[in-house]
Amino acid sequence: MRGIEEDKDLPHLWQKPAYPVLLEALGKLKIKPPVWGAKISRSEILEQQAAVQTAHERKEALVFLSSIIKSGLPWLEDDDEREVIWEEASKRMSERCGRTAMGEIVRSWPFENDEYGSFSLTIREPPLTGDSLGLKTWGSSYALAQLLHEFASGPLAHLVRSAQKTEEVLELGSGTGLLGLAAACVWRKTVYLTDLPEIMSNLEHNASLNRPLVKERGGKVEAARLTWGGSEEDVDPRFRSGKRFELIIVADPLYDDDHPALLASAIDEQLSHNSDARVLVMVPQRDEITEGLCKTLRAELGQQTNPFICHHESIVAGEDDWGDGNNDDSQQVGFWWGILGRSS
């Protein structure tokens, strides 16, 4: 993306610029939200973005946006064109005020692997208002998704690659669906994306948006409601019988004190009694609170009627984005992952 200095000066409103001229100028001011991954960190992305924004954030740009928002744009005779210009100017202004002010965003998340090939998932994130943790794509989902090919050839090979491999995978707390969609693409499985009823609209949208790609890569995705500890009406009929899945995946699921017990119960309800069945969990170790929630989850899983034990675990370094700004509290944290199964 080129800076404004490299383009012609922004148009002056007193010159009554035409609709295409205004639209083009607003397009050049667009700031995209960051996407980071294995080959480039979030901090590097933000540094690159800041270099671009140095030009974009100059006084002339802010004055230009503000003048459009305040102007009646009387020389544009088409009401629809005026609305488009006002809306675009407002978006450019909100992009400079952090993630919570940005409204809806759509990001493309790239995956590159020599064995599985390259692909990108397109994920919509609605405006972050109220209790909207499930409407944001968290760094842990991408971090775990980047490791799926390693698990397929390592500790989960018996479920992903063997002659007795499972064909269905359950994701609990899918949020925007990034992890489950990646699993469907990489593992070539049918993956059920599940979350709370209020999250389902966006989750179903992202499933539909990426379904052609998933199908092309040999997988399948379905989105369905599943509330941990919820009533029967909050659980899709396909999950009410329980003990169906031999592979469950979960990323960044713990935010409240009651979540470890609820999640442990949901895992116990849905995971098969097959001795080879496994659950793959990732929990960022942001601070003492999240470390404590992770320990509590492991304790809760160990206290089920048929206790769970951890077969494999590790901590990988990653970029976390806990916060609500576009360049907010990004930091290096440890992402704990564990693969657990029933003890007998």
Question: Using one digit for the tens of pLDDT, what is the confidence trace for 174-206?
Answer: 999 999 999 999 999 999 999 999 899 999 999
> What rounded mean pLDDT belongs to the chain?
83
Q: What is the pLDDT of residue 44?
A: 55
> Counting Cβ atoms within 10 Å, is residue 101 exposed (0-12), middle (13-18) or buried (19+)?
middle
User: Strand locations in the chain, DSSP E?
Assistant: 105-111, 119-125, 168-171, 190-195, 220-225, 247-251, 278-285, 308-320, 331-342
The arithmetic mean of pLDDT across residues 97-118, rounded, is 72
Q: What is the pLDDT of residue 140?
A: 87
Which residues pair with residue 332 across a beta bridge?
319
Q: What is the pLDDT of residue 208?
A: 97
Q: What is the pTM of this model?
A: 0.73
- Does 96 score more than 70 pLDDT? no
> What domains does the chain contain, in order, with CATH numbers?
4-97 (no CATH), 105-342 (3.40.50.150)
| Spatial distance between the Cα atoms of 335 and 145, rounded to a whole number of angstroms | 12
Amino acid at 175: G
| Spatial distance between the Cα atoms of 300 and 308, rounded to a whole number of angstroms | 9
Cα dihedral: 226, 185, 337, 241 (round 10): 30
Q: What is the pLDDT of residue 186?
A: 95
- The two tokens of residue 219 are 């997988």
Query: Between 325 and 116, whose confidence is greater?
Result: 116
